[in-house]
């Protein structure tokens, strides 16, 4: 799958310590690595004040290195978590988020890069 300017790529720091012991769910990334990296990408895209810590997260391998992530975040103006589903893929230890749908906000999936604007 070609990488375009609309796709944001971040190299996972393998959950900050390089000591991930879970089996990989896609590429060389475990569920924890994918969830932590997705949370980081969401916070980076939306800006300061958004929290992704302590949110339930699930990762499904949808074939090959493609993943679907379900989790949530809390905005600085709303204490209730907003749940989302994100789709992307893993290349080695790099997570690429391509699409996201915020439940109750988006009717369909949007490009991940459109999330903050």
pLDDT confidence band for 111 (50 / 70 / 90)? very high
Q: pLDDT tens digit string along 5-47? A: 334 444 443 334 445 688 999 999 999 999 999 999 999 999 8
Write down the pLDDT at residue 29.
Answer: 94
For the chain, the structural domain boundaries read 8-114
pLDDT at 13: 38
How far is Cα 64 from Cα 6, in angstroms, rounded to an integer? 22
Q: Give me the pLDDT at residue 19, please.
A: 54
| Whole-structure pTM value | 0.81
User: 56: closest CA among 44, 43, 42, 39?
Assistant: 39
């Amino acid at each position: 799958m070609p990488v375009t300017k609309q796709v944001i790529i971040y190299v996972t720091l393998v959950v900050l310590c390089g000591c991930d012991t879970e089996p990989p769910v896609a590429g060389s990334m475990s569920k924890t690595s994918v969830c932590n990296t997705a949370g980081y990408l969401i916070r980076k895209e939306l800006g300061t004040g958004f929290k992704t810590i302590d949110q339930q997260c699930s990762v499904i391998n949808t074939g090959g290195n493609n993943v679907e992530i379900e989790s949530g975040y809390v905005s600085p103006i709303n204490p209730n978590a907003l749940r989302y589903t994100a789709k992307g893929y893993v290349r080695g230890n790099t997570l690429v988020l391509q699409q996201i749908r915020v439940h109750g906000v988006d009717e369909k999936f949007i490009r991940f890069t459109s999330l903050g604007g």
